[in-house]
C-alpha cells in the first residue's frame, strides 16, 4: 500500500491512482489479486497478518475497492455486495417486523418488486410516494414515521430528480434513515451524503464498473458507527453476501476511469437529448440536463459535472413505432442495464407493462462512442 493520498485530491486523481492502491510486495503499480479463502496462524495461534482469518470477512481486493469508493463518495465506510439487489436487501433486512418504510414510486423495477414481496412476508407496512414531489414526500414521512425512507435520483427510467437535502430533513424529523440509490449519478456526479443522506446505494454493475462485465453492489455510509450500519456489516459477515476477489479487483480497475467515463457519457447524453427534443418523430425527452425538464434547476444544484448517461424519450406512434425504431438501431445494443462504455437501448414497456411507462418510451444508456455516430444511428432508426 502506498501512503494514503491527500484528502483534498480531486476524484479524477483518486480514481486514476485507485486512492493509492499498489502491490508493495512486487512494486507493481496495480494491486495483486488475492484469492486465498483462508489465512495462516503462527505457532502461538495468532493470525500471521492481524485481521486476516477467512475470505467471507477478509479480502484485500474488497478492502481496496471499498476504500476507493469511500473516498469518491465522501463516506465514512463502504461495504461491497455481490449485486446491487444484495445491497438493497441488506438495508431492508435491518427493518423490524411491524415497522413501516417509505419508498419512492416508479423507481428501478427490481427494487420495487423485491421490496413489495419482502414487506408482504415480513409484516412491514410499505408506503410508496412520488418523492420528486418534495411536499408529498415530507407529508408521507410525517404521516407514516418510516424506519427507512428510500429514494432514487435520477430515477430509472423516468429521470425524476429528488431534492436530497429536503428529503433528509423530512426523514430525520421523524427519526428515519434516508437511503439514496445514486446508481444513475455515480459518485462522480452526486454526493448524497454531503446533502444529508445517511446511506448511499449503488448498483456497481452499472457506471462504477462501467464495462458490463462485473455484477456488484455497494452501500456507502455517513456514520460508520450507526446502529443500522452495525447490523448491515454483521449481516454481510455472517450471512455471506460478499463480493469475490476477482470481481473486486475488476471493480477497482473499472473505477480508475470512472470520472472520465461519466464526463463523456454526460456530454454525449446531453447532446443526444437536445437532438431528440427537436426531432419530429419524438413526443417527449426525459433528461435532467434539458432546461425544460421539471427537475433541471434542482439537478443543476445537486449534481456536478453533468447529468449522467441515462435518458428516456417517447417515440410518436406508441409501442409499435418505438419497437420499430429500436429494431433499426445498429450501434445501440438492444439490452437491459446502463452505465457501460457501449450504448444500450431498452423498450421498458415490454419489460414492465403495468407500471405506467409510456408504450412509446425508449430508454438509452449512452456510452462513450463518438457522439456523431450515435446521433446518426438514432437519425436513421427514427427515419429522418
Ligand atoms: C441495476 C440497478 C439496481 C440493481 O442492481 P444489480 O447490480 O442489477 O443487482 C438497483 N438500482 C438501480 C437504479 C439500478 O439501475
pLDDT at 7: 64
Which of 80, 84, 153, 181 has most ligand 1 atoms within 8 Å of its beta carbon, as the pocket-test mutant? 84
Please give the domain boundaries of the chain with CATH numbers for all domains: 11-255 (3.40.640.10), 259-382 (3.90.1150.10)
354: confidence class by pLDDT, cuts 50, 70, 90: confident
Which of 80, 107, 108, 151 has most ligand 1 atoms within 8 Å of its beta carbon, as the pocket-test mutant? 108
1: confidence class by pLDDT, cuts 50, 70, 90: very low
- Active site positions, annotated: 56, 108, 181, 206
Residue with cell 455481490: 82
Q: How far is CA 55 from CA 47, 66, 73, 236, in A?
A: 13, 15, 25, 12
Asked whether the predicted pLDDT for residue 318 surpasses 60, the reply is yes
Please tell me whether residue 292 adopts helix, strand or coil conformation: coil
**Residue 84 Cα, ligand 1 centroid: separation in angstroms?**
5
**Residue 219 Cα, ligand 1 centroid: separation in angstroms?**
12
Q: Which residues contact 209 (CB under 8 A, 6 or more apart)?
A: 216, 250, 251, 254, 255, 339
Q: Which residues contact 157 (CB under 8 A, 6 or more apart)?
A: 286, 310, 312, 346, 348, 357, 361, 363
Q: Please give the helix or strand (H or E) that residue 267 lies within, else none.
A: helix 258-277
Mean pLDDT, rounded, of the chain: 96
pTM of the model: 0.97
Contact 184, 338 (CB under 8 A): yes
Say how far apart CA 33 and CA 177 lie, in whole Å.
36
**Residue 182 Cα, ligand 1 centroid: separation in angstroms?**
10
pLDDT digits (tens, 9 = 90+) for 241-300: 999 999 999 999 999 999 999 999 999 999 999 999 999 999 999 999 999 999 999 999
Return phi, psi of residue 280, to 5°.
-65, -20
Asked whether the predicted pLDDT for residue 320 surpasses 80, the reply is yes
Contact 337, 348 (CB under 8 A): no
pLDDT digits (tens, 9 = 90+) for 51-87: 999 999 999 999 999 999 999 999 999 999 999 999 9
Ligand 1 cavity residues, CB under 6 Å: 83-85, 108, 110-111, 152, 156, 181, 183, 203, 205-206, 215, 217, 338
Question: Residue 207: which of 348, 60, 85, 342 has the closest Cα?
Answer: 342
Amino acid at each position: 500500500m502506498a501512503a494514503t493520498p491527500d484528502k483534498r485530491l480531486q476524484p479524477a486523481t483518486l480514481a486514476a491512482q485507485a486512492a493509492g492502491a499498489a502491490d508493495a510486495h512486487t512494486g507493481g503499480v496495480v494491486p495483486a489479486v488475492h484469492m486465498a479463502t483462508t489465512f495462516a496462524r503462527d505457532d502461538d495461534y495468532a493470525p500471521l497478518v492481524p485481521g486476516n482469518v477467512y475470505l467471507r470477512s477478509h479480502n484485500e481486493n474488497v478492502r481496496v475497492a471499498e476504500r476507493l469508493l469511500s473516498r469518491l463518495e465522501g463516506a465514512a465506510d463502504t461495504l461491497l455486495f455481490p449485486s446491487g439487489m444484495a445491497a438493497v436487501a441488506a438495508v431492508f433486512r435491518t427493518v423490524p417486523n411491524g415497522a413501516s418504510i417509505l419508498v419512492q414510486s416508479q423507481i428501478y423495477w427490481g427494487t420495487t418488486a423485491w421490496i413489495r414481496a419482502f414487506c408482504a412476508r415480513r409484516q412491514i407496512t410499505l408506503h410508496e410516494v412520488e418523492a420528486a414531489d418534495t411536499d408529498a414526500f415530507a407529508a408521507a414521512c410525517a404521516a407514516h414515521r418510516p424506519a427507512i425512507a428510500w429514494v432514487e435520483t435520477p430515477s430509472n427510467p423516468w429521470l425524476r430528480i429528488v431534492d436530497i437535502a429536503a428529503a433528509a430533513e423530512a426523514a430525520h424529523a421523524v427519526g428515519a434513515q434516508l437511503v439514496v440509490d445514486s446508481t444513475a449519478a455515480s459518485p462522480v456526479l452526486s454526493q448524497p451524503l454531503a446533502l444529508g443522506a445517511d446511506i448511499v446505494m449503488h448498483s456497481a454493475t452499472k457506471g462504477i464498473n462501467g464495462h458490463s462485465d462485473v455484477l456488484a453492489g455497494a452501500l456507502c455510509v455517513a456514520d460508520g458507527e450507526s446502529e443500522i450500519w452495525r447490523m448491515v456489516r454483521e449481516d454481510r459477515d455472517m450471512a455471506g453476501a460478499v463480493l469475490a476477489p476477482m470481481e473486486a479487483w475488476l471493480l477497482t480497475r473499472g473505477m480508475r476511469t470512472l470520472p472520465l467515463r461519466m464526463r463523456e457519457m454526460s456530454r454525449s447524453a446531453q447532446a443526444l437529448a437536445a437532438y431528440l427534443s427537436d426531432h419530429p418523430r419524438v413526443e417527449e425527452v426525459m433528461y435532467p440536463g434539458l432546461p425544460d425538464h421539471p427537475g433541471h434547476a434542482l439537478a443543476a444544484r445537486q449534481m456536478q459535472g453533468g447529468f449522467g448517461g441515462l435518458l428516456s424519450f417517447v417515440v410518436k406512434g406508441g409501442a409499435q413505432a418505438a419497437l420499430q425504431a429500436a429494431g433499426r438501431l445498429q450501434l445501440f445494443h438492444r439490452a437491459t442495464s446502463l452505465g457501460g462504455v457501449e450504448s444500450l437501448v431498452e423498450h421498458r414497456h415490454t419489460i414492465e407493462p403495468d407500471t405506467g411507462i409510456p408504450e412509446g418510451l425508449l430508454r438509452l444508456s449512452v456510452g462513450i462512442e463518438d457522439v456523431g455516430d450515435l446521433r446518426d444511428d438514432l437519425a436513421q432508426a427514427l427515419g429522418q
